[in-house]
Amino acid sequence: MARRILKQRIAGILITAALVGGTTQAAEVSVAVAANFSAPMQKIAAAFEQDTGHHATLSFGATGKFYAQIKHGAPFQVLLAADDETPALLEREGLGVAGSRFTYAIGRLVLWSRLPGLVDDQGEVLRTAKFEHLAIADPKLAPYGAAAVEVLKGLGLMAALTPRLVQGTSIAQTHQFVATGNAELGFVAMSQVFSSDGKLTQGSAWAVPARLHTPIRQDALLLVDGKRNPAALALLDYLRGDKARALIRSFGYEL
């Protein structure tokens, strides 16, 4: 009996020590997140903090702008890009940790309008005069914008629709153009207009077939400022885990 009580006391001491140790080891990581990944990353960050004690400070924007900021010394420790080219370039330039890069999601492009019934399920609205403005993200800064241009060229519509194009600096601003009615429709990320249960949140949409553009492979990269940060290392590991992958998939991304 006394031996069992002693074992219970020792176990309690070890658990307390582990909890205290976990608290003192908790750290913070600064993450540059592609704008299209805002909704899933907010949920992932909350789960990450609950499960590990580490806190992720998130900044959302265009991948091209993040590249310029990182080149000029912005103190980000992890990059979650909207493409695979930018992380590879940063790695080659010595600003990313070699061997840390991996694809965390494959994005889906959607033609969306806040107006019900405007966008049909084949995207034929693009061949009509039912709209005055078509929003896309800047193809030089945002991979989703580059994919949108690729789709328009493949459909033979680029020349005809160029006068009607309005460009956002990021996919977030592009979504805003459509959401506010400044453009009747636009190419956005699926995660921006579909909820985690797969339902369209508003309006009408056409999920662009993946065969119409180069796969939007979104890569994660550990930046040199984060190589000694336990929270940065833990976050990249967490993104590979089942819980994060299930959240990513629920927003329409492929893995």
**Residues 123 and 189 placed together within one structural domain of the fold:** yes
Q: How many domains does the chain have?
A: 2
Question: Does residue 204 have a pLDDT over 70?
Answer: yes
45 shares its domain with 171: no
CA nearest neighbour of 54 among 223, 241, 231: 231
Look at residue 99 and tell me if it is in a domain. yes
Q: What is the pLDDT of residue 225?
A: 95
The CATH number given to whatever domain includes residue 135 is 3.40.190.10
Is the residue at 1 inside a domain? no
61 lies in the same domain as 124: no
Residues in contact with 144: Cβ distance below 8 Å, sequence separation at least 6, in sequence order: 36, 82, 107, 109, 137, 171, 174, 187, 188, 189, 216
Residues 6+ apart with CB under 8 A from 146: 139, 140
Task: Tell me which DSSP letter residue 200 carries.
Answer: B
Per-residue pLDDT tens digits for 117-167? 999 999 999 999 999 999 999 998 888 999 999 999 999 999 999 999 999
Q: Is residue 11 part of a domain?
A: no
Check whether residue 154 and residue 173 sit in a common domain. yes
Q: Judge whether 5 lies within some domain.
A: no
Do 202 and 112 fall into the same domain?
Answer: yes
Portion of the chain with pLDDT greater than 70, in percent: 91
Based on the fold, state whether residues 127 and 198 are members of the same structural domain.
Answer: yes
Task: Confirm whether 243 is domain-assigned.
Answer: yes
Whether 139 and 225 share a structural domain = no
Beta carbons of 58 and 134 less than 8 angstroms apart? no
Considering the domain architecture, whether residues 122 and 112 belong to the same structural domain is answered as: yes
4-48 tens-digit pLDDT:
443 334 334 333 333 334 444 789 999 999 989 999 999 999 999
204: in domain:
yes
The pair of three-digit structure tokens given for residue 157, joined into one six-digit string? 């519509």
155 within domain boundaries:
yes
143 lies in which domain range? 108-212
Residue 17 is predicted with a pLDDT of: 36
Beta bridge partners of 216: 107
This prediction has a pTM of 0.79
User: Alpha-carbon Rg of the chain, whole angstroms?
Assistant: 22
Q: Is 222 helix (H, G, I), strand (E, B) or coil?
A: strand
Report strand pairing: 204-207 vs 55-61.
unpaired
Q: Cα(242)–Cα(248) distance, rounded to whole angstroms? A: 10
Q: Are residues 129 and 198 in the same domain?
A: yes
Residues 45 and 74 in one domain: yes
Residue 16 lies in a domain: no
